[in-house]
């Protein structure tokens, strides 16, 4: 593999150069970044091809590696350290409660704030302090495509801005509500650093107390969202769209809540990812209409 050597601080710019091969992954080792070079361009070195990684699955959030489930063996941890050279390695065991507090074990390094780049947006967070579900990548992008400029949107469980940022970037006016003060701090930072101050109104507290007026769209990105349906529906009208996240089918809860609130509803369900054996993380897209009464 033909490569050029650059400093790690210049890696992001280097991979955008015309000579950089977009089909091969650069890597950092010993304080030097090695960037694969396209055919026909000069290179600094010709290195042996790296063998594909086949060890314990993990996710990179910024420079931090996050594993899920059981604690890795020492050999598995060494393999991760050798492959990606993370500054920190965390083992995520649980996500607890409405505040979505991660239960983590630090396996290497020191937890710290990182910046995750996705779909043209920057998300600051500390993976040891707040949740970031990379498996929801397509759902975050979909929310940016779903909204129309000028829509009034409530993001009831905004977190660090998972769905708030792509919707605001698409022109929606987002009322972003978050109960966890730590997540809320990152939410405010992410809104500011992405230049979305004029499109997002962040508030810290219980979303049931902070919802106001009627919204065109309400995002309910929490697995306990079905129990919050009466509160959301109190701020909805005909044509309002709800995006309700759940573990498994929440169709019965949706039917009961919408009928009790005086609406009929069209519901479309999509699977986001497998959550456990026979359990799926799903999103119900609920379009409200006036309830039809019998003559």
What tokens does 143 get? 């929310």
What tokens does 251 get? 């169709």
In contact, 153 and 215? CB cutoff 8 Å: yes
Q: Residues 146-199: pLDDT tens digits?
A: 999 999 999 999 999 999 999 999 999 999 999 999 999 999 999 999 999 999
- 82's CB contacts (< 8 A; 6+ apart) are none
Beta bridge partners of 92: 68, 104
Q: Residues 256-269: pLDDT tens digits?
A: 999 999 999 999 99
pLDDT of residue 230: 97
For residue 253, which phi and psi values (nearest 5 degrees)? Answer: -65, -40
Q: What is the DSSP letter of 226?
A: G
Kindly report which listed range (81-90, 94-103, 237-246) carries the lowest average pLDDT score: 94-103
Overall CATH class of domain 132-290 = alpha beta
pLDDT of residue 94: 66
- 129's CB contacts (< 8 A; 6+ apart) are 102, 111, 182
In contact, 154 and 131? CB cutoff 8 Å: no
Residue written as token pair 């393999």:
79
Q: Residues 36-84: pLDDT tens digits?
A: 999 999 999 998 776 777 888 998 998 999 998 889 999 999 999 888 8
Provide the residue ranges of all domains of the chain, joining segments of one domain with +: 2-46, 59-121, 132-290
Same fold, 59-121 and 132-290: no
CA 178, 179, 182, 183 torsion: positive or negative? negative
pLDDT of residue 294: 40
What tokens does 249 get? 């089918």
Query: Within its chain, how far is the Cα of 59 from the centroid?
Result: 12
Q: Residues 210-229: pLDDT tens digits?
A: 999 999 999 999 989 999 99
Q: Residues 235-253: pLDDT tens digits?
A: 999 999 999 999 989 999 9
Q: Which fold has domain 59-121?
A: GMP Synthetase; Chain A, domain 3 (3.30.300)
pLDDT of residue 295: 39
pTM over the 0.85 mark: no
Beta bridge partners of 195: none
CA–CA distance, 160 with 245 (Å, rounded to integer): 17
CB atoms within 10 A of CB 285: 15
Q: What is the DSSP letter of 187?
A: H
CA–CA distance, 12 with 80 (Å, rounded to integer): 22
pLDDT of residue 1: 85
Q: Where residue 8 falls among pLDDT bands split at 50, 70, 90?
A: confident
Q: Residue 93, exposed/middle/buried by CB under 10 A (0-12, 13-18, 19+)?
A: middle
């Amino acid at each position: 593999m033909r490569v050029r050597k650059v400093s790690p601080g210049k890696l992001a710019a280097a991979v955008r150069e015309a000579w950089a091969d977009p089909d091969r992954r650069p890597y950092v080792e010993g304080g030097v970044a090695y960037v694969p070079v396209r055919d026909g361009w000069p290179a600094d070195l010709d290195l042996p091809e790296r063998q594909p990684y086949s060890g314990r699955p993990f996710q990179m959030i910024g420079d931090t590696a996050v594993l899920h489930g059981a604690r890795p063996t020492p050999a598995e941890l060494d393999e991760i350290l050798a492959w990606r050279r993370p500054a920190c390695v965390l083992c995520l065991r649980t996500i607890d409660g409405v505040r979505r507090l991660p239960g983590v074990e630090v396996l290497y390094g020191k937890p710290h704030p990182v910046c995750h780049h996705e779909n043209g947006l920057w998300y600051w967070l500390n993976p040891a302090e707040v949740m970031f579900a990379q498996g929801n990548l397509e759902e975050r992008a979909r929310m940016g495509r779903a909204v129309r400029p000028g829509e009034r949107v409530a993001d009831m469980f905004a977190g660090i801005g998972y769905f708030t940022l792509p919707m605001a970037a698409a022109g929606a006016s987002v009322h972003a509500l978050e109960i966890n003060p730590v997540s809320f701090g990152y939410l405010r930072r992410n809104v500011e650093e992405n230049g979305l101050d004029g499109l997002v109104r962040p508030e810290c507290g219980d979303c049931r107390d902070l919802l106001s007026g009627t919204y065109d769209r309400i995002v309910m990105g929490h697995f306990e969202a079905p129990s919050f349906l009466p509160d959301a529906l109190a701020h909805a009208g005909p044509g309002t769209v709800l995006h309700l996240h759940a573990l498994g089918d929440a169709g019965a809860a949706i039917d009961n809540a919408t009928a009790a609130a005086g609406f009929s509803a069209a519901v479309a369900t999509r699977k986001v990812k497998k959550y456990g054996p026979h359990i799926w993380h799903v999103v119900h897209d609920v379009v409200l209409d006036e309830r039809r009464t019998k003559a």
